[in-house]
Amino acid sequence: MRKHIVAGNWKMNKTLQEGVALATELKEILAAEKPNCEVIIGTPFIHLATVSELVKDCVIAVSAENCANKASGAYTGEVSAAMVKSTGAEYVILGHSERREYYHETPEILKEKVDLALAEGLKVIFCIGESLEQREAGEQEAVCKAELAGSVFHLTPEQWKSIVIAYEPIWAIGTGKTATAEQAEEIHAYIRKCVAEVYGAELADETSILYGGSCKASNAPELFQKPDIDGGLIGGASLKAPDFKGIIDAWK
């Protein structure tokens, strides 16, 4: 059966000290009460090595929020997939709408990042999702399919096993507007169908598809009850350990 996952995306929040404090608090909470799902925390680059060391003997896995689309060399300020891997991180989030929008990451650039991340043995949380305008025009399915086709559907079936999909409707990110569980389930089922068309029903069935966008402890149980929603990618509510734990508990 596919994995249930609750993943945090801290985005550009927390100094190193604040991040270590948050990871420590979460580690203690989860040591006292084992989670019923995989727990991942996505942190800024500067936290990765310290937080990976801190959680190495516990249930928490660590993710980067990005990596470069080049392997190494004269790319000032960039951080490669190999560097991410060397910190002890297991995952990298790629394709987040904030990266697509503010840093102009195209499907081609994301494809390069995905290939480099997988080559280094990282697992990828690949984000897709439509804008409000696209949702109002009924284009959400076409947008999601095109984002998958543009950056990840070239992978081999073996590589695909290292992919987690996160459906994050842009209109629901940080807005307090969650997709209803029905809206989310509808598109998650569609995404799984698209995966099945490329990789077959069995692999599609093993693919974890997370929902992201104003997910919190109060709406997570309803979302996670849906058959094609395998967990969440959490922004704001991952910044406080009790809030994040509240979402993890939705799997209880």
Catalytic residues: 96, 168
Give me the long-range contacts of 99-107 (CB less than 8 A, separation at least 24). Answer: 99/66, 101/170, 107/146, 107/147, 107/150, 107/151
Site residue total, ligand 13P (CB under 6 A): 14
For residue 58, with 0-12 CB atoms within 10 Å meaning exposed, 13-18 middle and 19 or more buried, which class applies? middle
| 161 vs 133: CA distance, rounded Å | 32
Indicate which single residue of 234, 241, 247, 250 sits in contact with ligand 13P (rule: CB under 6 A). 234
CB nearer ligand 13P, residue 199 or residue 244: 244
- Does 63 bind ligand 13P (CB under 6 A)? Our answer is no
- Does 129 bind ligand 13P (CB under 6 A)? Our answer is no
- Does 236 bind ligand 13P (CB under 6 A)? Our answer is yes
- Does 164 bind ligand 13P (CB under 6 A)? Our answer is no
x/- letters, 40..59, toward ligand 13P (CB under 6 A): --------------------
For 23, how many CA atoms within 13 A lie in the half-sphere containing its CB?
31
The CB-of-115 to ligand 13P minimum distance in angstroms stands at 22
User: Closest residue to ligand 13P, Cβ-based?
Assistant: 235
The region that residue 212 occupies, defined by phi over 0 for left and psi between -120 and 50 for alpha, beta otherwise, is beta
Indicate which single residue of 215, 241, 247, 248 sits in contact with ligand 13P (rule: CB under 6 A). 215
User: Where along the sequence are the contacts to ligand 13P (CB under 6 A)?
Assistant: 9, 96, 168, 173-174, 212-215, 233-237
